[in-house]
Structure 1
Amino acid sequence: MTNTNVHDAAIIGAGFGGMGAAIQLGRLGFKDLVILEREDDLGGTWHVNRYPGLAVDIPSSTYSYSFEPNPHWSRLYAPGEELKKYASHVADKYDLRKNMRFNSVVEGAVWDAENEHWTVNIAGGERLHARYLLTATGFLSQPKMPEIDGIETFAGKVIHTTKWDDSYDLAGKKAAVIGTGATAVQLIPEIAPTLAELTVYQRTAIWVTPKSDAKIPKRVRSMYARVPLTQRIVRGFGSGVLEVLMVAAVLKYRRFKMFNKIAERVAKRHMARQIDDPELRKKLTPDYDFGCKRPTFSNDYFKAFTRDNVHLETTSIERIEPDGIVTTDGKKTTIDTLILATGFNLWDVNFPAIEIIGRDGRNLGKWWRDNRFQAYEGVAVPHFPNFLTLASPYSYSGLSYFTTIESQMKHMKRLFGEVSKRRASTFEVTPEANAEFLDRMTEKLEDSVFALGSCSTARSYYFNQHGEAAILRPTSTINAFREAGRFPLEAYRYA
């Protein structure tokens, strides 16, 4: 089935990135938008994930659109259901639901050079057309399944954290958690008290620092609602702290290595206050530099390992049997529940998350893998006219995803303003501008912990298969916003 109508734009993904793009396009005068979402509701990761302990891992004050602050966060680090509620609020206030189509699995998109529009292929055979294509599929949208011998033979309950089964009762179960990343840091303390036994299989330890979390009193929330300036001040302070953490300790490692080492000491002292056993502390201490993985915060992760029913296993898994897990030393742990906190697959299947075929038949995924991951200002790619990739290489700025979203919205305003001024039908970033940007970002990464620190054992999703930390934009957020509003207009060709 083919829809012959040509929409102004098709946006793939109804998370915060897709909604931000839709809001900006609406401000720019585009009315005929379609937002295609594979899930049955909006919210992206905050709709898909609902495991126990789910919460934002940076201060709530920074995790929202600056133009749509939320004075109602209940905690300094808001729980996941509040992020879902905020997403629904944004969609309703900006009247985005009318543009959304749920349960629409996009299989791919192809540039139609003759008609100067994109053809989007949807599972089930439907095709629709749009003048512009924007992919907002997120960085963490494709779950990673562990490749362990025998996993398909396990006879008990298997739960991946991205598909949590609320109906399954963990009380009294003997469970294993595979993975000790950011998700596990939130999950393990929540489920440990309920289980009879919990064995945590750790391949890579993670740096964990204290979490300055607390309830936000109602009087403070009321003040935020009455006097928005007060919340903006708090947001500015929180953003400044995150900027120091990311830019100084991670991206400017050459000059500010001491900040990195201070963070490591804070994390080690945090662990020492909660764990007396030196052997357990040693197992939980990373052997890579702070910042090689995304910083993680928790006040009860380490405490969970001091419980009598919680066991840390650092020996590699050899195989999984119908009733348990066998490690390479021959030890078998009998379990009835297997929980996979194994994160997401970014570089094999997520960039891009769908097949995208541009001008002259160029396949974006193949081109990225053959020619390095790259995107001009984190949004545009040569040979892909009228296309913006919002979850892309060198786009993530700062620690709050909303920083990235809003800088991209600013880029869109400048770009589409020039398209309108020229009355152009198409835009496409030039290979020269793209190459210059890639060289500049690569050079800046030479100052980072990724290049100068010890990251080889981190197994961080920041690194692609070529060993490049190509997700993060290695500049300050101030620079990202400045360039979004001042990039050379001649960086694009207009026709």
Structure 2
Amino acid sequence: MTSERFDAVIVGAGFAGIGAAIQLKRMGYENFVILDREDDLGGTWYVNHYPGLAVDVPTTTYSYFFEPNPNWSRLFATGNEIKQYADDVADKYDVRRHMRFSTTVEGARWDEDARLWRVGLADGQTLSTQYLITATGFLSQPHVPDIPGITEFDGRIVHTTAWDDSYDPAGERIAIIGTGATAVQLIPELAKKAADLTVYQRTPIFVVPKFDLHFSERAKRLFARVPVTQRIIRAVTDSIYEWVVSVGVVHYWRTRGRFNIAAADLSKTLRWATIRDKQLRAKLTPDYDFGCKRPTFSNSYYRTFNKPHVHLQDGGIARMEADGIVANDGTKTVVDTLVLATGFDLWEANFPAIEVIGRNGRNLGKWWRDTRFQAYQGVSMPLFPNYLSLASPYAFLGLNFFNTMEYQMRHMERLLGEMKQRGATTFEVTEEANTRYLDRMTELLGESLFLNADCASARSYYFNPSGEPTLLRPMSTRKAIKEAGEFPLTDYQIN
């Protein structure tokens, strides 16, 4: 039963959803709602609160450009600070009152007769909206490994996205599966208290030194009173990251991977300086090129494996039993608690995160899998009128999500502004424009790290199930923002 009608429905109350809401309000829209299945805002920064959680991009860069935060305590801020930043921005720009929590969206279908989206909720309600915006993020669907016998385990099982803050690892025998960015932060924290910690590694990760620094109270006051000082620091960190993505990823072929080789050597030096056991060092050494799988920063991860009660298991898991884990080599580790640091199901469960049915019954997920993962400017697809997907193929600019959000907000401003000016009711990207953009992205990726380096063993979420690196938009932030303000309006049918 249809109970309410809106100008826009935003699915997701993380930073993307907050950014989209701010842009709508700037354009005079007030009749919109933000729906989220959790009971608070913040997206991944609300869901994740495991020990050691911190951002792995400098917080001077990891923030909305239009809303610098002078109160960061350090260059790589903790998860609590990032969550507080989300709260503060939502309150300042008056978007919290548009949010509805504990509301699960099951799907959306375009009603051609009414020229509206019908958004179905888990409680049986159906909302109607002119515009549908999915802001579900890239990392929103936890991945749980299919391990034989896992349901027979009698101990505690906890996924890092559902961390129990009351859990005390002191004196416990703990196994953790995964060695990605989350595990790199969590493992040193667990090792401080656990009686025994076994790390099950499938793919080693490149770890480089973390050059963190604390901002003094004096520095914070300076940022607040003279905002340009913080913007100068941001310009520096932005430029460094832009350069890293440009030479290390987007234009890898031109540079012959020289930067990546140097970065891999830095990681190698860190391993050599902290791990004396040659065999252990070899196990922690990736056999793919730097950048194929997202690298991370830590000064304590490698060092943790020197502790006598910390063990690395890289031979694979055969099965679980009631009291522990049996490895492929037959050895058994008795475990009290199993921690799953296994990341997210990016492609199978997240593209899209909800079922979306467009014109002519086109199912977005099926269409992507039957053809290719594609999205014009990383936001629009043909036969999906009045729909913007902020977590789409070719959307992510690399390393910093906020740069992605900034160009998407610019795209919204140009497109919806044109709609208002014309008094139009629908927009839809043309098949020709979409194909042209897909061909262009495919060509640009030909120079990238992913198609020229040795990434075969990386098991990276950058690659879709067909082996194409369609997550990344292979261009600079500056160019993406420029395109968002200048793309040909003729690429859309606006009626």
In structure 2, what is the equivalent of residue 202 of structure 1?
201
Aligned pairs (5 A) from 1:464-475: 464-475=464-475
In structure 2, what is the equivalent of residue 128 of structure 1?
127
How many angstroms does 1:86 deviate by? 0.4
1:17 counterpart = 2:16? yes
In structure 1, what is the equivalent of residue 98 of structure 2?
99
The answer (yes or no) to whether the contact 1:247–1:398 under 8 Å persists in 2 is no
Letter in structure 1 aligned against 2:104 = V
Q: For residues 303 and 219 of structure 1, what CA distance do their matches in structure 2 show? A: 33
Task: Using the TM superposition, name which of 101-110 and 215-224 deviates more.
Answer: 215-224
Runs (4+) of structure 1 moved beyond 6 Å?
Answer: none
1:184 counterpart = 2:183? yes
Aligned pairs (5 A) from 1:18-97: 18-97=17-96
In structure 2, what is the equivalent of residue 448 of structure 1?
448
Letter in structure 1 aligned against 2:439 = D
In structure 1, what is the equivalent of residue 269 of structure 2?
269
Task: Using the TM superposition, name which of 210-219 and 330-339 deviates more.
Answer: 210-219
Question: Between the two proteins, what is the percent identity of the paired residues?
Answer: 59
Q: For residues 240 and 262 of structure 2, what CA distance do their matches in structure 1 show? A: 14
The answer (yes or no) to whether the contact 1:243–1:399 under 8 Å persists in 2 is no
How many angstroms does 1:278 deviate by? 1.3
- How many residue pairs align between the two structures? 494
The answer (yes or no) to whether the contact 1:175–1:198 under 8 Å persists in 2 is yes
SS in 2 for 1:61: coil
In structure 2, what is the equivalent of residue 479 of structure 1?
479
The answer (yes or no) to whether the contact 1:398–1:477 under 8 Å persists in 2 is no
TM norm structure 1: 0.99
Q: For residues 384 and 11 of structure 2, what CA distance do their matches in structure 1 show? A: 16
Q: For residues 163 and 139 of structure 2, what CA distance do their matches in structure 1 show? A: 16
In structure 2, what is the equivalent of residue 6 of structure 1?
5
How many angstroms does 1:270 deviate by? 1.3
Q: In the TM superposition, what whole-angstrom CA distance separates every residue of 1:115-167 from its partner, at most 9, and x where no partner exists? A: 11111100110111110000000000000000110111110000000000111
Q: In the TM superposition, what whole-angstrom CA distance separates every residue of 1:307-333 from its partner, at most 9, and x where no partner exists? A: 111000111110011111111111101
In structure 2, what is the equivalent of residue 140 of structure 1?
139
SS in 2 for 1:30: coil
How many angstroms does 1:419 deviate by? 1.0
In structure 2, what is the equivalent of residue 426 of structure 1?
426
Q: In the TM superposition, what whole-angstrom CA distance separates every residue of 1:192-247 from its partner, at most 9, and x where no partner exists? A: 01000000000000001111112111111111111000100100110111112212
Task: Using the TM superposition, name which of 250-259 and 333-342 deviates more.
Answer: 250-259
1:362 counterpart = 2:362? yes
In structure 2, what is the equivalent of residue 329 of structure 1?
329
In structure 1, what is the equivalent of residue 239 of structure 2?
240
How many angstroms does 1:398 deviate by? 3.2
Letter in structure 1 aligned against 2:301 = Y
Aligned pairs (5 A) from 1:244-323: 244-256=243-255, 257-323=257-323
Q: For residues 347 and 268 of structure 2, what CA distance do their matches in structure 1 show? A: 31
SS in 2 for 1:438: helix
Aligned-residue CA RMSD (Å) = 0.7
The answer (yes or no) to whether the contact 1:398–1:476 under 8 Å persists in 2 is no
1:409 counterpart = 2:404? no
How many angstroms does 1:295 deviate by? 2.2
Q: In the TM superposition, what whole-angstrom CA distance separates every residue of 1:333-392 from its partner, at most 9, and x where no partner exists? A: 111100000000011110000000000111000001111111000000000000000011
Task: Using the TM superposition, name which of 475-484 and 45-54 deviates more.
Answer: 475-484
1:221 counterpart = 2:220? yes
In structure 1, what is the equivalent of residue 374 of structure 2?
374
Letter in structure 1 aligned against 2:438 = L
In structure 2, what is the equivalent of residue 345 of structure 1?
345
Q: In the TM superposition, what whole-angstrom CA distance separates every residue of 1:165-202 from its partner, at most 9, and x where no partner exists? A: 11122110000000000100010011101000000000
How many angstroms does 1:439 deviate by? 0.7
The answer (yes or no) to whether the contact 1:140–1:346 under 8 Å persists in 2 is yes
Q: For residues 87 and 183 of structure 1, what CA distance do their matches in structure 2 show? A: 20
Q: For residues 40 and 9 of structure 2, what CA distance do their matches in structure 1 show? A: 17
Q: For residues 11 and 453 of structure 1, what CA distance do their matches in structure 2 show? A: 38
Letter in structure 2 aligned against 1:432 = E
Letter in structure 2 aligned against 1:7 = F
How many angstroms does 1:83 deviate by? 0.5
SS in 1 for 2:60: helix
In structure 1, what is the equivalent of residue 391 of structure 2?
391
Letter in structure 1 aligned against 2:472 = L
Q: In the TM superposition, what whole-angstrom CA distance separates every residue of 1:473-492 from its partner, at most 9, and x where no partner exists? A: 01111111111111011000
Q: For residues 137 and 96 of structure 1, what CA distance do their matches in structure 2 show? A: 17
Letter in structure 2 aligned against 1:131 = Q
In structure 2, what is the equivalent of residue 492 of structure 1?
492
Q: For residues 169 and 343 of structure 1, what CA distance do their matches in structure 2 show? A: 22
SS in 1 for 2:252: coil
Structure 2 unaligned segments of length 5 or more: list them.
Answer: none
SS in 1 for 2:23: helix
Letter in structure 1 aligned against 2:327 = T
Q: For residues 335 and 399 of structure 1, what CA distance do their matches in structure 2 show? A: 35
